[in-house]
Amino acid sequence: MDELITNEILRLIKDKSLSKEELKEALSQYHESDIADSIALLDEDERNEFLNSMSKEELAEIIPFFDNPEEYIEELPTEKAADIVELMDADDAIDVLEEMDEDKAEDIIHEMEKESREDIDLIRKYDEDEVGSKITTNFIQVPNNFSVKQAMKTLVDEAPENDNIANIFVVDENNKYYGTIILKDLIIARANQPLEDITKTNYPTLKDKDKVEDVINEIKDIDLELIPVLDDNDEIVGVITSSDIIETVDEELGDDYAKFAGLTQEEELDESFLKSVKKRIPWLTLLLCMDIVTSTVLSNFSAIIAAMPVLVLFQSLVLDTSGNAGTQSLAVTIRSITSDQINKKNVWRNLLKEFLTGLVDGLFAGVVSFGITLLFLVISKSPVKSEEVIFVEQIRASITIGIALSTAIPLSTLAGMLFPMFFKKIHVDPAVASGPLITTLSDVCGVSIYYGLAILMFNLVV
């Protein structure tokens, strides 16, 4: 926030010479977000004095912009809290209630008027990954048999209570969605003109049960202030606003980041350590089990490791490099899937491209690792299989590492693309194919390739 604006708001709040009406008029020139951020800079007494002087309507406008609005609501008497919450948009009210103590939240909902309770219950019935959970019930609709004059009168009458007026939605005689009217078209239309003349009947809509991750790109591409959300009967249950779209995209990116990092949910810096543990433990447990698989595979090569312990020195080189290559491919693939760049027409071309990229990367890494490994073994005079230093064995060991990398990298790269595509195919979020998961799978593959090659190169018997 601009420091100049902050200082202006703080000066107004602390100015005792201003009457309540004068302060209200002065603050009306600023956005609620700026006011909320400025209030946070007041000391506790000043903050409480200012908030207690505000009407319930004013508090309902500002509180959703607090960093932790639930903390203020929880301190209020239940009846007053209910009055404030029911004046908020339903989606904002739910955001606040979900962060509160469950019993307190239910008490507040019980005190709210029936219409507000119904709006909240409507949104809460949807799963959080469904479009219906992102809607607001703050919108205006009119029947398609209205004239422009009648529609304009409805707009004027309802605008004080419904501030989402960029689009007005039209329904037919069965209350089914019929079309959308752009506010500009309504303003410039002639008063007696039929509403159908300015109604766009093929404008974008969403279904309430659509999965957010499936329509996120469609939502971004539509670029409208309001998008109507319909139920199975094609009735409008709510709308997605531009701010909802930004929030939804941000949440989806945060969710993908969490899964990519091996978390069950996005983690906040200011949350308690117990919440952080709860989000990390499930994936850590799964990956621990997968690591046990890696260890089990590795145990099958214990005889080779005992005969050639020097190979263990370079094990991490093979596993980490191939795992990194798989993670790179995974990141590119998930980004391509979420932006709809991969489809049935180009999937094979992208698979081939990814494999060739991995193959070239693998050959390069293999050649480099061969040279570095051989140089290390020669300089350190490390024996490989025999007790004495034999140059031919050092070359074989270096070749083993080079070939292992040249093989493991393209396979890991291919896996980094195939796994998220597979998850997408079975309607699971591709981000589930997280970096830790791909890395662990690459380890299993890398161990098998590395020590399997060692057996062949040195004619060992397992």
Burial class (CB within 10 angstroms; exposed 0-12, middle 13-18, buried 19+) of 455: middle
Same domain, 11 and 121: yes
Q: Strands across the sheet with 206-207, in order?
A: 206-207, 226-230, 236-241
Question: How confident is the model at residue 280, as a pLDDT?
Answer: 66
Give 250's pLDDT tier (boundaries 50, 70, 90). low
The mean pLDDT value for 317-330 works out to 84
Average confidence (pLDDT) over 75-84: 87
Q: How many CB atoms are closer than 10 A to CB 156?
A: 10
Q: 256 or 223: which carries more pLDDT confidence?
A: 223
Residue 383 lies inside a defined structural domain of this protein: yes
Instruction: Note the Cα 280 to chain centre separation in Å.
Output: 17
Among 108, 131, 154, residue at a domain's last position: 131
- Mean pLDDT (the chain) is 83
Residues 147 and 119 grouped into a single domain? no
- How does pLDDT run across 292-312, given as a tens digit for each residue? 877 888 888 888 888 888 888
Secondary structure, 3-state, 372-439 = HHHHHHHHHCCCCCCCCCCHHHHHHHHHHHHHHHHHHHHHHHHHHHHHHHHHHHCCCCHHHCCHHHHH
Q: Which residues pair with 246 in a beta bridge?
A: none
459 has a pLDDT exceeding 60: yes
Same domain, 99 and 156: no
Range of the domain at 234: 141-242
Whether 292 is in a domain gets the answer yes
Q: Return contacts of 459-462, CB within 8 angstroms, 24+ apart.
A: 460/303, 460/304, 460/307, 460/308, 461/303, 462/300, 462/301, 462/303, 462/304
Segment 159-173 mean pLDDT: 87
* 351 has pLDDT over 60: yes
Q: How far apart are the C-alpha atoms of 445 and 76, rounded to whole Å?
A: 59
pLDDT at 267: 47
pLDDT in tens, 360-395: 999 999 999 999 999 998 998 888 887 788 899 889
Query: Which one of 196, 227, 242 terminates a domain?
Result: 242
* pLDDT mean over 120-145: 88
pTM of the entire predicted model: 0.58
pLDDT number for residue 343 = 66
**pLDDT at residue 269 tops 50:** no
Does residue 432 register a pLDDT over 60?
no
Local confidence band at 329 (pLDDT 50, 70, 90 cut-offs): confident
Q: What is the DSSP string of 263-319?
A: -SS---TTS-HHHHHHHHHHHHHHHHHHHHHHHHHHHTTHHHHHH-THHHHTHHHHH
In a shared domain, residues 285 and 318: yes
Mean pLDDT of 134-150: 90
Total count of domains within the chain: 3
Q: What CATH number has the domain bearing residue 446?
A: 1.10.357.20
Residues 103 and 145 in one domain: no
Q: Which amino acid is at 326?
A: G
Q: Identify the residue with better confidence: 394 or 44.
A: 394
Helix (H, G, I), strand (E, B) or coil at 238: strand
Give a yes or no: residue 257 inside a domain: no
